[in-house]
Structure 1
Amino acid sequence: MSTVSLSAATRTVPAPRSPWRDWLALSLLMFPVLLVAVDNTALTFALPAIARSLDATGVQLLWIVDAYPLVLAGLLVAMGSLGDRFGRRRLLFVGSTGFALVSAVTAFAPTAEWLIAGRAGLGFFGAMLMPSTLSLIRNIFPEPNRRRLAVAIWAAGFSGGAALGPIFGGWLVEHLWWGAVLLVAVPIILPLLVLGPALIPESRDPNPGRVDAPSIVLSLLAMVPAVYGIKILATDGVAPEPLAALGIGLLMGYAFVRRQRRLAASASSAPLLDLSLFGNPVFGTAITANVLALFSYNGFILFLAQHLQLLEGQSPSESGMAMIPALVATVVAGLLVVPLVRKVRPGFVVAGGLLLSATGYGLVAFGDHGAGPGVLLAALLVLCLGVGAAETISNDLILGAAPAAKSGAASAISETGYEVGSLLGTAILGSILTASYQRNLQLPAGVAGTAPAEAAAQAGETLAGAAELAHALPAPLAEAVMASARAAFDSGVHITAAIALVLMAGTAVLAAVVLRKVPTAN
């Protein structure tokens, strides 16, 4: 049986390890991956129960959802760098323990304020998990082919958890209570905490430098306002508040970059984030592909969920079930491209995945949406095949392009790209869709004398508002309202899909050109 040996520079336990121990270590790393993926999506189905149980206001419900990703996004870069300095396994165990404890306490939250604080705490500890798992994979599997398969399994676990989240969360809320969605973190994380110390090797940067506290503060002040601004733009449209938040985030980001460059030039200090990573074209292009793959996926889900629930009349759980085949395709594609890159250059595989995403949007842009959800679900299947292929290989290229000592920082950048891509897909494509809907909607003349002006105004803002208005109208007028709303929404979907098609195709060309010299796997 062959063995794998890593240098003391990247692993504190230099003794050779049997391959089976490495794969067991990977299986344990999947528990926090599944935990984060399920937690990201399961809580959505608990919101109605939370609102009833805690008497939460609309603003409080918004913060219950947003507190977690805001803190998570703000701390990913800092936590990835801290893992490089103090030990990635140590940070993973601290994050896992904290996540489980905060989940257990938050599950019994007596007030909405308590729950919001708990969600923020989960974001703090959650920021320690994903960069740690991916950077540990980089050091456990130094051989490229084995690492690529490990990354594919990691990505499959995340996609699978995201698919299970709504179904799992809905079942828990229906049969137990909303707190079970949070409490389930405890049994999920226990195997890692019990077996991890014996099977997962520690690794860290051998020359980490001291921690620069101002850089951590600046990274937080850059990411939190920027993410908040993007989320508000996606939900409420252009307004002074989100634009100001974006401006503050960009200003703090500029200050962060300047400080990292100054620290890099100093002999006595080390930057929190090594900006020289972005000087590697493979690293930068893989990050771009990573961001835009998630951009395309989340933008698509945004309008597909509305179409299935508001135009096709499906329940949230029914629409979630309808998407499962496509999400399974994401997992399958991610695993199938691992042997493919032994014959085809990785850059062309990434480009091919992005072209599949473009093809999915092409089916939407030029397809007929009025004959049921079949065209949109087929397009989602094609898009997910592309996302699965592009995400797996781009993540592997990110890890392979970064030095092993900086794998924590590289993983954190990849995870930050995931968050930003998801938000931008919702914000940009969602804003275009909403603007087009509002511009093209023409309510029937009879609505003005039948429905309240406020209800008609809400119908002019969103498809959900039109559906609410239709429920309160007589059958013939309700049908006319929904027909008009469908036409306006579909016109917006065609425009949005055409824009995404051009963006994905352009990114595919970029990946093929810049990454064309990356060799096939041996």
Structure 2
Amino acid sequence: MTVNELLPGAGRRPWAGLAVLCLANLVIAVDIFVLMLAVPHIGTDLATSATETLWIFDIHGFMVGAFLITMGGLGDRIGRRRLFLIGSAAVGLASVVCAYAPNPEVLIAGRVLLGIAVATLPPCSLGLIRTMFPEPRRMGVAIGFWAGSFTVGAIVGPVLGGALLDQFWWGSVFLIAVPILLVVLVAGPASLPEHRNPDAARLDLTSAALSLATILPIIFGIKEVAHDGWGLTPVAALVVGLALGVVFVRRQRRVTNPLMDLSLFRNRAYSIGLGSLLTYAMLTGATLMFVTMHFQMVAGLSALESGLALVPGMALSTLSVTLAPVLARWVRPAYLIGAGLVVVVLGLFLVTRVEPTSGPAVLITSFAVWCVGSGFVLAMGISLVVGSVPVEKAASASSMPQISNEFGASLGIATLGVVGTLIYRAQVELPAAVPAEAAVAAGDSLVGALTVAGTLPPEVAGPLVGAAFQAFNSGLQTVATTAAIILAGLAVLVVVKLRHIPPLARQDAAPEPESTEDSGTGAGLAAAA
């Protein structure tokens, strides 16, 4: 029996259009996870420094986060199908640029273009789903399929990317998107309806530019301090970023249709829910980067084996995301988020037990455990954010979870990535026999140490690799410990501050009045679920 038979009335064209949207969403997920597996190969081939590696990772998320809302408004103006197809073509072209990048600078530039292009897809996709499936029941099913396609990409991406990395050069993982997007571009015009909003709000490109002008100098300053210490350039960058941040906040308070509605943060459920999602993405995103590098460079797994090592965790995360809304009918959302964070902390604690000689089993188990908890944090955190605001502001709030995820992961990689790098540089003890020029590269990162070791005699390479493994492992343990401590504190904060919000089954009962700013949260959560 087909979906159209189960839910009659929509016709075949909307479901065909939904399949096109799902393909594009799958590409986004694949891109995120294959890059983590490709980083050791990129570092070896392009001789990237530790700072360049972090930029390759995090610049994409900053671009997506900065342009997501703007692209939603642009789609309303020029047509959602048109922008979706333009964005899909741009993602394909940017992927080709990344695949054939001859140096780190071109790869970083390609990642910038890729992030801007990807920002067009989610808002246009959700807008088109609402147009194709106006009836709430079919819309809910369609959104479920669309969200599920991301999960499929998260599971398939590491496996497919790992298989390609074992057989071809690192750029091949970026080319996964190209044939899929060609199908999207061929099928999209016939299966997707066009939709414009003649009353769309004016695009606030100034705010989007200010958000980037705030965060990028701050991240640049942090990375430069880690690389060269305190100096005029990083201090100036930090000051400029903070000053522009003040300008950004003032503008959001002044304009009629702000990029970020600061008034929503007066709602405790909204602000703590969004903060939880941001903090979770920030801490676990950085830790996962170190975990995937450990799989290949320390545990000695192939790229394919590393991809397969992530699959159990991804599958368990899918199950917990599905289970969380069911439990939320009887269990308070604060307790579900708190319990989820405790499970994540347990998984991170297991990461701190990893040693260079532990083998991959400990990390595979650790990642699987924290993924069980992640489903509760993500599902209920999104419900809190979307369901705790007035209906007239739901559109503005609905984009914030994805923005917090993109910015959070990038911020985590930029900041905790720097912490891990500093730990490595401080603790790596290079053998005296390593030549001075080679010692510079070996002392910068694990990738540099392994590259240098390949040029040295075994009696020197062995001790060098052992020292590099130990230093990298110390960085991993420090990052995981930091993440676990902060998330444990966040669990307590969520339970204490949001425990008054009732389960969904009691949506008609008013929540205990801890703050008048939280009024309506229970009913909003029911609607969001």
TM-score (norm 2): 0.76
- Seen in structure 2, the aligned counterparts of structure 1 residues 144 and 517 have a Cα distance that, compared at 3 Å, is farther
Specify the alignment match of 1:162 in structure 2. 154
What are the ranges of 5 or more consecutive residues in structure 1 without an aligned counterpart? 1-15, 264-268
Does structure 1 retain, via aligned residues, the 8 Å contact 2:37–2:307?
Answer: no
User: Aligned equivalents of 1:192 and 1:346: distance in 2?
Assistant: 39
Amino acid at match of 1:165: G
Indicate yes or no: 2:358 matched with 1:363. Answer: no
1:118 Cα offset (Å): 6.3
Partner SS, residue 312 of structure 1: coil
- Seen in structure 2, the aligned counterparts of structure 1 residues 352 and 377 have a Cα distance that, compared at 3 Å, is same
Query: Which of 423, 426, 434 is residue 451 of structure 1 equivalent to?
Result: 434
Partner SS, residue 399 of structure 2: helix
1:197 Cα offset (Å): 2.0
- Seen in structure 2, the aligned counterparts of structure 1 residues 239 and 388 have a Cα distance that, compared at 3 Å, is farther
Does structure 1 retain, via aligned residues, the 8 Å contact 2:341–2:373?
Answer: yes
Indicate yes or no: 2:474 matched with 1:478. Answer: no
Specify the alignment match of 1:399 in structure 2. 386
Specify the alignment match of 2:214 in structure 1. 222
Q: Could you give the per-residue CA deviations for residues 309-363 of structure 1, whole angstroms, max 9, x where no partner exists?
A: 2222223332222222112222222112121111211221111111111111111
Amino acid at match of 1:345: R
Give the stretch that moved more between structures: 68-77 or 301-310: 68-77
Partner SS, residue 192 of structure 2: helix
Specify the alignment match of 2:451 in structure 1. 468
1:230 Cα offset (Å): 6.3
- Seen in structure 2, the aligned counterparts of structure 1 residues 487 and 350 have a Cα distance that, compared at 3 Å, is same
Q: Could you give the per-residue CA deviations for residues 443-480 of structure 1, whole angstroms, max 9, x where no partner exists?
A: 3xxx32x3311222333332233333433444344333
Indicate yes or no: 2:292 matched with 1:326. Answer: no
User: Aligned equivalents of 1:121 and 1:72: distance in 2?
Assistant: 10
1:69 Cα offset (Å): 4.1
Specify the alignment match of 1:286 in structure 2. 273
> Percent identity over the alignment?
33
User: Aligned equivalents of 2:254 and 2:483: distance in 1?
Assistant: 38
Specify the alignment match of 1:317 in structure 2. 304
Q: Could you give the per-residue CA deviations for residues 69-92 of structure 1, whole angstroms, max 9, x where no partner exists?
A: 453333124334556x659xx43x
User: Aligned equivalents of 2:486 and 2:22: distance in 1?
Assistant: 32
- Seen in structure 2, the aligned counterparts of structure 1 residues 175 and 474 have a Cα distance that, compared at 3 Å, is closer
Specify the alignment match of 1:427 in structure 2. 414
Indicate yes or no: 2:490 matched with 1:493. Answer: no
User: Aligned equivalents of 2:115 and 2:48: distance in 1?
Assistant: 21
Specify the alignment match of 1:258 in structure 2. 250
Indicate yes or no: 2:334 matched with 1:344. Answer: no
Specify the alignment match of 1:7 in structure 2. none
User: Aligned equivalents of 1:142 and 1:499: distance in 2?
Assistant: 46
- Seen in structure 2, the aligned counterparts of structure 1 residues 231 and 316 have a Cα distance that, compared at 3 Å, is farther
Give the stretch that moved more between structures: 23-32 or 332-341: 23-32
Q: Could you give the per-residue CA deviations for residues 388-410 of structure 1, whole angstroms, max 9, x where no partner exists?
A: 22112212222222344434432
Amino acid at match of 2:246: Y
User: Aligned equivalents of 1:172 and 1:366: distance in 2?
Assistant: 31
1:368 Cα offset (Å): 5.2
Partner SS, residue 258 of structure 2: coil
- Seen in structure 2, the aligned counterparts of structure 1 residues 188 and 384 have a Cα distance that, compared at 3 Å, is farther
Partner SS, residue 197 of structure 1: coil
User: Aligned equivalents of 1:126 and 1:506: distance in 2?
Assistant: 33
User: Aligned equivalents of 1:302 and 1:118: distance in 2?
Assistant: 20
Does structure 1 retain, via aligned residues, the 8 Å contact 2:25–2:146?
Answer: yes
Aligned length: 486
User: Aligned equivalents of 2:33 and 2:93: distance in 1?
Assistant: 20
User: Aligned equivalents of 2:156 and 2:297: distance in 1?
Assistant: 22
User: Aligned equivalents of 2:182 and 2:142: distance in 1?
Assistant: 25
Specify the alignment match of 1:183 in structure 2. 178
Specify the alignment match of 2:486 in structure 1. 503
Specify the alignment match of 1:8 in structure 2. none
User: Aligned equivalents of 2:448 and 2:245: distance in 1?
Assistant: 37
Specify the alignment match of 1:195 in structure 2. 191
Partner SS, residue 330 of structure 2: coil
Indicate yes or no: 2:65 matched with 1:95. Answer: no
Does structure 2 retain, via aligned residues, the 8 Å contact 1:334–1:389?
Answer: yes
1:261 Cα offset (Å): 1.2
Does structure 2 retain, via aligned residues, the 8 Å contact 1:399–1:407?
Answer: yes
Specify the alignment match of 1:248 in structure 2. 240
1:291 Cα offset (Å): 1.2
CA RMSD between the two structures: 4.3
Does structure 2 retain, via aligned residues, the 8 Å contact 1:350–1:389?
Answer: yes
Partner SS, residue 313 of structure 1: coil
Does structure 1 retain, via aligned residues, the 8 Å contact 2:313–2:371?
Answer: yes
Does structure 2 retain, via aligned residues, the 8 Å contact 1:292–1:421?
Answer: yes
- Seen in structure 2, the aligned counterparts of structure 1 residues 24 and 246 have a Cα distance that, compared at 3 Å, is farther
Indicate yes or no: 2:111 matched with 1:124. Answer: no
Query: Which of 264, 270, 282 is residue 277 of structure 1 equivalent to?
Result: 264
1:106 Cα offset (Å): 5.1
- Seen in structure 2, the aligned counterparts of structure 1 residues 259 and 249 have a Cα distance that, compared at 3 Å, is same
TM-score (norm 1): 0.77
User: Aligned equivalents of 1:368 and 1:442: distance in 2?
Assistant: 17
Amino acid at match of 2:176: V
User: Aligned equivalents of 1:223 and 1:287: distance in 2?
Assistant: 18
User: Aligned equivalents of 2:297 and 2:502: distance in 1?
Assistant: 47
Amino acid at match of 1:417: S
User: Aligned equivalents of 2:42 and 2:22: distance in 1?
Assistant: 29
1:290 Cα offset (Å): 0.9
Does structure 2 retain, via aligned residues, the 8 Å contact 1:294–1:422?
Answer: yes
Amino acid at match of 1:256: F
Indicate yes or no: 2:22 matched with 1:30. Answer: yes
Partner SS, residue 295 of structure 2: helix
User: Aligned equivalents of 2:253 and 2:139: distance in 1?
Assistant: 35
User: Aligned equivalents of 1:151 and 1:408: distance in 2?
Assistant: 15
Does structure 1 retain, via aligned residues, the 8 Å contact 2:287–2:476?
Answer: no
- Seen in structure 2, the aligned counterparts of structure 1 residues 496 and 58 have a Cα distance that, compared at 3 Å, is closer
1:213 Cα offset (Å): 4.8
Does structure 2 retain, via aligned residues, the 8 Å contact 1:357–1:382?
Answer: yes
Does structure 2 retain, via aligned residues, the 8 Å contact 1:35–1:188?
Answer: no
User: Aligned equivalents of 1:314 and 1:238: distance in 2?
Assistant: 38
Indicate yes or no: 2:351 matched with 1:375. Answer: no
1:379 Cα offset (Å): 0.8
Does structure 2 retain, via aligned residues, the 8 Å contact 1:99–1:122?
Answer: no
User: Aligned equivalents of 1:111 and 1:363: distance in 2?
Assistant: 37
- Seen in structure 2, the aligned counterparts of structure 1 residues 504 and 475 have a Cα distance that, compared at 3 Å, is same
- Seen in structure 2, the aligned counterparts of structure 1 residues 512 and 208 have a Cα distance that, compared at 3 Å, is farther
Amino acid at match of 1:194: A
